[in-house]
Structure 1
Amino acid sequence: MRVLVGVGATAVAVGMVAACGASAEDDSEPEQRSFALPGRTLTVDSKDSALELVVSDDAKAADVRVTRWFDGRTVIGESPEVKWKMDGDRLTFRTECSGVISNCSAKHRVVVPRGVAVTVLNNDGKVTATGFREPLKVRTSDGSVTVRDARGPLDLRSVDGSVRAEGVTSKRISAASKDGSVQLRLAAAPDRLQARSQDGSVTVALPVAKGGGGGGAASYRVDTEAVDGGADVSVPRDTRSPHHVSVRSVDGNVTVRSAN
């Protein structure tokens, strides 16, 4: 009888956890901390958390400011725990949520001082980054990447997640996804853009000069390859253009079009 009662109680507990999934958005009292940054580079090393990175609006700010939301529960296993620490220029986030029955959700918002080059290493969680003027490098596994309003060089990679860039004016861009699409919408013509996808489509929207020109280019040097997919290029092309765009896809379509 004890075994049956235990099994029944476990089944009820499983149902309760499944019905009440953890969500970091439910944390009404997030924690905040500031970390001293010794130089002009920062690596954010995260696991099992969504990340939001923004540039500080305070020109004199020198510290990295972090806000953490967390919601977690375990029925069979140790209590969940989240950890954060800074070691040199490496900021680490870890979520420990183990047990037979567990459900945890974490989110970190990182405010970075101006003029800092950032590298993001994230496992199991989406990454969004806004407003960066310095180099930004992102590597994710099991999570999407979205970058907005960037001016510095971009190097974006995702496994099992999409890659998006919107309204960027970066001169050098490299973006790739495995098992996910790549969508890049530029607000200024790049000098060099490389986009790759395996098992996903690639769409690149480029500004084309009209009248006064703006951020667009008169033409682009475009190289495309689509394996088991089609390629459609509708921007003006010139093999001598200083604006080189290279797009490749395996098992997905390639589209290079005007962003105007």
Structure 2
Amino acid sequence: MSRTVTARAAALGGAVVVLLATVTGCGGSAEDDKDPEHRTFALRGHTLTVDSGDSALEIVAADAYEAGSVRVTRWFKGSVLVGQDPRVTWEMKDDDRLVLRMKCSGFVADCSAKHRVEVPRGIAVKVEADDGSVRARGFRDALSIRTDDGSVHVTDTTGPLELRADDGSVRAEVSSRRVRAGTDDGSVRLELGAVPDRVDASSGDGSVGITLPHAAYRVTARSGDGSVDVSVPRDDSSPHVVSATTDDGSITVRTAD
């Protein structure tokens, strides 16, 4: 009798393992979605807030489509073994707040979402992301990005920048005149293509690297535990101000090659 029970338990356990492996393999990545959805939302005013949860984001400033609207492309893959079917939602609230959500909970839940948001020129954008990386490019107007858990990467941008990651790296290759970038846990890497008026870069636990065009700068650099290397020309009366701080990590401030 004991051998029969043991054999049945082993068979049941094996079936569960196979089922779990099968379901887990079905989740996949949002990148595997070959038929993404598209939707256009009306936008009023000159500002847009992107409020995202559990999704990778790509925010793009665009020229060639109707003003007063935002185009969104959505990729999604997901599965839940026991529980409600996973789903994603999108809506424009109060005419200027784009809310993106993914609901994926239950036993063996495996979901992945990605959104690309195309914003017309002349719109200032604020991104509030709970969980997911954020990439942005092409902005001439003010851009603010904050993510609780994920990296931030901005390129091809000239407008004022404010970038913040609670847990993740921050990178920017831009020509903005004013940049504020920080993270509690991760590195900060800034490459400026134009002489800035003000740069503030900080990390709680990670290195900070700033590359600047040739000019004289008023520099403040401090590390609680790490090396500090400032090789740009320094002038305490310069109108170009650079501040770099970290509690634990190295700091490098240098001119571009």
Q: TM-score range by the shorter chain?
A: over 0.9
How do 1:8-157 residues align onto structure 2 when only pairs under 5 Å count? 8-58=14-64, 60-88=66-94, 89-157=96-164
Residue in structure 1 matching 2:210, options 200, 204, 207? 204
Unaligned runs of 5+ residues in structure 1 are 209-216
**Number of residue-to-residue matches in the alignment:** 250
In the alignment, the residues of structure 2 paired with residue 233 and residue 97 of structure 1 have an alpha-carbon distance, to the nearest angstrom, of: 47
Could you tell me whether the CA contact under 8 Å between 1:52 and 1:110 is conserved in 2? yes
In the alignment, the residues of structure 2 paired with residue 169 and residue 195 of structure 1 have an alpha-carbon distance, to the nearest angstrom, of: 15
In the alignment, the residues of structure 1 paired with residue 62 and residue 15 of structure 2 have an alpha-carbon distance, to the nearest angstrom, of: 49
In the alignment, the residues of structure 2 paired with residue 119 and residue 17 of structure 1 have an alpha-carbon distance, to the nearest angstrom, of: 37
Could you tell me whether the CA contact under 8 Å between 1:232 and 1:254 is conserved in 2? yes
Counterpart residue number, 1:214: none
Deviations 1:79-117 (A, max 9, x none): 110000001210001011111111111000000011000
Deviations 1:213-255 (A, max 9, x none): xxxx2x1111000001110001111101110000001111000
Could you tell me whether the CA contact under 8 Å between 1:77 and 1:101 is conserved in 2? no
Could you tell me whether the CA contact under 8 Å between 2:205 and 2:246 is conserved in 1? yes
TM superposition shift of 1:159: 1.4
Q: Which one has the largest radius of gyration?
A: 2
TM superposition shift of 1:59: 6.7
Does residue 178 in structure 1 map to residue 184 in structure 2?
yes
In the alignment, the residues of structure 1 paired with residue 27 and residue 37 of structure 2 have an alpha-carbon distance, to the nearest angstrom, of: 21
Could you tell me whether the CA contact under 8 Å between 2:134 and 2:151 is conserved in 1? yes
TM superposition shift of 1:20: 4.8
TM-score scaled by structure 2?
Answer: 0.93
Secondary structure, aligned partner of 1:241: coil
Secondary structure, aligned partner of 1:146: strand
Could you tell me whether the CA contact under 8 Å between 1:59 and 1:114 is conserved in 2? no
Provide closer, same or farther for how the CA distance between residues 177 and 133 of structure 1 changes in structure 2, counting only shifts above 3 A. Answer: same
In the alignment, the residues of structure 2 paired with residue 104 and residue 46 of structure 1 have an alpha-carbon distance, to the nearest angstrom, of: 15
In the alignment, the residues of structure 2 paired with residue 256 and residue 17 of structure 1 have an alpha-carbon distance, to the nearest angstrom, of: 49
Counterpart residue number, 1:195: 201
Secondary structure, aligned partner of 1:165: strand
Letter in 1 for 2:223: A
Could you tell me whether the CA contact under 8 Å between 2:44 and 2:68 is conserved in 1? no
Counterpart residue number, 1:247: 244
Cα RMSD (Å): 1.6
Letter in 1 for 2:51: D
Percent identity between the two aligned chains:
56
In the alignment, the residues of structure 2 paired with residue 4 and residue 139 of structure 1 have an alpha-carbon distance, to the nearest angstrom, of: 49
Letter in 1 for 2:195: A
TM superposition shift of 1:5: 6.2
Does residue 236 in structure 1 map to residue 233 in structure 2?
yes
Secondary structure, aligned partner of 1:71: strand
Letter in 2 for 1:138: I
In the alignment, the residues of structure 2 paired with residue 234 and residue 19 of structure 1 have an alpha-carbon distance, to the nearest angstrom, of: 50
